[in-house]
Chain A
Amino acid sequence: MKRLRGALLGIAGIVLLGVLWEGYKALAPAIGVKIGAITVLPRTSDAAMPHLATMLQRALDPVTAAAGSPPLWTAVLQASLFTVSIAAVSWVVGVIVGFLIATLMQRFRTAESALLPWVVLSQTVPLIALAPLVKRWGSLVHFGAFDWQDWMSVALIASYLAFFPVSIGALRGFASPEPAHLDLMRAYGVGWWRTYLRLRVPASVPYLVPALRLAAANAVIGTVVAEVSIGLSGGVGRMIIEFAQTGSSDPAKQWAPIFGAVLVGLVAAGAVALLGLALHKYRRNEVTA
């Protein structure tokens, strides 16, 4: 019953968004709302805000008029699969790295003092400045038969965004056991390693789950932006800039990959939610990140 209600509310939210879109388009003037020379509310012309039906119709039409061109929605779906795969790789890498860094910082006070400022600073480096560098370094990597591929650069950049919430969340989680529990462990004469495995890691779960969710969102954003930046073909990011070129003459086309990106985000969030369900045993008092 509760689940049905949730699903209904979810659908109602989507419908409401659609109604808002079409309602605003119908009511607001085509040139938008201006105060002085500044446009405060967007234009509602067909180029700026195509009808939902137009977007849907465009998604069913082929990508181009060339022979054998697939319908737009299948092309977008394929691109979304490509993007979500890279995002998954980057999420896994980010989670592992973030967890290891947090462990290191928990184990050695010096490591925490030395690393934590850098972990925070790392997120202030703009992604677009990083992308060309990562791609170039990647092109210099060859181990025997292994050659660095461009998709790995994208995954690496996205994991750079994904590791951050995990390292911070896990570090806070590792420090969360009550002093009495830690004292008990000490009284039993248990070493750091077992205290870590038996007490600190389980205690970190309530902090970790929201961090994993943030990491998933970061991984998706990072993947899409890095695709745009590097120009990796195959994913929704590249598709968005490619279709932007026909933004005036075929405005509905570029909305399809945008919906693709939303879909990628939903899949990523769903996968993490499933993971959270499995860890439910440890989630006594959830904190919001």
Chain B
Amino acid sequence: MKHSSRIRLGLGALGISAALVLSGCASGGGTSASSSADSGKLTPITLQLQWVAQAQFAGYYAAVAQGFYKKEGLDVTIKEAGTTTVPIDALAAGDADYAISWVPKVLGSIEQGTNVTDVAQIFERSGTTQISFKDKNITTAADLKGKTVGSWGYGNQWELFAGMQKAGIDTTSGIKLVQQAFDMNGFLAGDIGAAQAMTYNEYAQVLETVNPKTGALYQPSDLNVINWNHEGTAMLQDAIWANADKLASDKTYAANTTKFIKASIEGWIYARDNPEKAAGIVTAAGSTLGTSHQLWMTNEVNKLIWPSTGGIGVIQKKAWDQTVKIAKSTKDDTGSTILTQDPPSTAYSNKYVDAALKELKAEKVDVLGASFAPLTVTLKEGGK
């Protein structure tokens, strides 16, 4: 009697595991085989992001949801990134057709022999800032001297280091460098005097938190912000990267690149003209960020793109040269620079974005956004 009941128990355990195994297969298969249903003549394209779904990538999600890619004959699958995903490696390995990454994070890979090309510089301005509470009196890079300075590292630190070095601070002995986490707890608790913050993310996180002194949310007036665009050490951020070898050898890929850029730009124009809807699209795509935070991010990202100097996506030589110059001359806390020499001429190309913009201009689409007016987004506690 005893044995048979035990065997039944065991069978039950096996049954549970088997069911779990099966459901694992089912649910796993369901998530990634999403958009291939009606892809009759569409070319499958994979885009590798540099982080999880959030409004930083609103334009691409909008282009999928609004069918801009389909219109160009592309069936685009967006791949999110994890903590150890290097988008450029995924691109070079053929895991993705295009990748989104910051320029300084890619320049090092290019020098090591990864053959990729910046084919569209979507963000014209940098979203990286260094924020501090008003009472610390840190308003310029020079004021960081002797302070505890937060940095995420992993290629996010270069503008900060360039700014401090430009201001004559010895970045090895002149500051106390603190490794910063995903959240802003270290900053709010006072462990970090000046913390790194993206305008579209961490800055908003602070403004969504209740100030224990007032009982209300922190206000922009409580903070000083060092903006690297103003300090002259901004580097180029989100760009669309393509495989340089394939661009040279594969005519279809080269043609698809123009199509991909064109549709992506249309997505970004949609996000500019319909920020609330674009934020909703990103949330529907699986982002768990709060509604007001998502809209804030969409709006701030729009500010990094619009108004555009030469048309969205065009790589401005002056900004590129500034990025390269900083990459060659700035040493971080480990004493290394990103580049030891100038990158090859294949590192960027305006050929494809120019072609895409020409088509869009012919369709009377506003690719400059000269009259762009940002929203005023009210953040709620917890970004809800």
Whether the pair A64, B290 counts as a contact (CB closer than 8 A) is yes
Whether the pair A278, B9 counts as a contact (CB closer than 8 A) is yes
Whether the pair A136, B90 counts as a contact (CB closer than 8 A) is yes
Q: Mark B20-31, 1 if CB is under 8 A from A, else 0.
A: 110111011101
Size of interface on A: residues with Cβ below 8 Å to B: 62
Q: Mark A72-104, 1 if CB is under 8 A from B, else 0.
A: 000000000110111011011000000000000
Task: Tell me the nearest residue of chain B to A216, going by C-beta.
Answer: B17
Select B20's contact among A84, A232, A272, beta carbons within 8 Å: A84
Q: Report B22-49 residues with CB < 8 Å from chain A CB.
A: 23-25, 27-29, 31-33
Looking at chain B, what size class is its interface with the partner chain? 35 or more
Chain A residues near B284 (CB-CB < 8 A): 66
Whether the pair B384, A64 counts as a contact (CB closer than 8 A) is yes
Tell whether A246 pairs with B293 under 8 Å between CB atoms, given A151-B28, A241-B182: yes
Tell whether A230 pairs with B82 under 8 Å between CB atoms, given A89-B21, A244-B182: yes
Q: Mark B93-111, 1 if CB is under 8 A from A, else 0.
A: 1110000000000000000
Whether the pair A239, B288 counts as a contact (CB closer than 8 A) is yes
Select B93's contact among A45, A128, A139, beta carbons within 8 Å: A139
Chain A residues near B292 (CB-CB < 8 A): 65
Whether the pair A246, B290 counts as a contact (CB closer than 8 A) is yes
> Would you call B12 an interface residue if the criterion is a C-beta within 8 Å of the partner chain's C-beta atoms?
yes
User: Which candidate, A8-16, A183-191, A248-256, is the interface stretch facing chain B?
Assistant: A248-256
> Would you call B16 an interface residue if the criterion is a C-beta within 8 Å of the partner chain's C-beta atoms?
yes
Tell whether A278 pairs with B13 under 8 Å between CB atoms, given A86-B28, A139-B94, A246-B290: yes
Chain A residues near B3 (CB-CB < 8 A): 281
> Would you call A242 an interface residue if the criterion is a C-beta within 8 Å of the partner chain's C-beta atoms?
yes
Chain A residues near B291 (CB-CB < 8 A): 64-66
Interface centre among A43, A85, A86, A89 (most CB of B within 10 A): A85
Contact residues of B: prevailing secondary structure: helix
User: Which candidate, B205-213, B244-252, B263-271, B349-357, is the interface stretch facing chain A?
Assistant: B205-213
Whether the pair B183, A244 counts as a contact (CB closer than 8 A) is yes
> Would you call A213 an interface residue if the criterion is a C-beta within 8 Å of the partner chain's C-beta atoms?
no
Select B28's contact among A132, A152, A238, beta carbons within 8 Å: A152
Select A278's contact among B7, B21, B288, beta carbons within 8 Å: B7
Select B289's contact among A140, A245, A280, beta carbons within 8 Å: A245
> Would you call B381 an interface residue if the criterion is a C-beta within 8 Å of the partner chain's C-beta atoms?
yes
A65 to B288, CA, bound (A): 10
A278 to B13, CA, bound (A): 9
Select A149's contact among B32, B90, B184, beta carbons within 8 Å: B32
CB of A279 to closest CB in B, whole Å: 7
Q: Report A132-167 residues with CB < 8 Å from chain B CB.
A: 132, 135-136, 139-140, 147, 149-152, 155
Whether the pair B84, A88 counts as a contact (CB closer than 8 A) is no
Task: Tell me the nearest residue of chain B to A252, going by C-beta.
Answer: B382
Interface centre among B16, B29, B284, B292 (most CB of A within 10 A): B16
> Would you call B52 an interface residue if the criterion is a C-beta within 8 Å of the partner chain's C-beta atoms?
yes
A171 to B83, CA, bound (A): 36
CB of B163 to closest CB in A, whole Å: 24
Q: Report A223-267 residues with CB < 8 Å from chain B CB.
A: 227-234, 238-239, 241-251, 253
Task: Tell me the nearest residue of chain B to A234, going by C-beta.
Answer: B31
Whether the pair A64, B283 counts as a contact (CB closer than 8 A) is yes
Whether the pair A231, B12 counts as a contact (CB closer than 8 A) is no
> Would you call A60 an interface residue if the criterion is a C-beta within 8 Å of the partner chain's C-beta atoms?
no
A202 to B192, CA, bound (A): 59
Whether the pair B84, A233 counts as a contact (CB closer than 8 A) is no
> Would you call A125 an interface residue if the criterion is a C-beta within 8 Å of the partner chain's C-beta atoms?
no
Select B31's contact among A65, A152, A233, A275, beta carbons within 8 Å: A233
Q: Mark B229-259, 1 if CB is under 8 A from A, else 0.
A: 0000000000000000000000000000000
The interface of chain B, by Cβ under 8 A from chain A, is: 3, 6-7, 9-14, 16-17, 20-21, 23-25, 27-29, 31-33, 52-53, 80-86, 89-90, 93-95, 181-185, 188-189, 201, 205-206, 208-209, 280, 283-284, 286-294, 380-384
Apart from A229-B82, A246-B208, list 15 A-B contacts with CB within 8 A: A47-B185, A63-B288, A64-B291, A64-B384, A132-B86, A150-B32, A241-B182, A245-B201, A248-B206, A249-B382, A249-B383, A271-B17, A272-B13, A278-B9, A281-B3
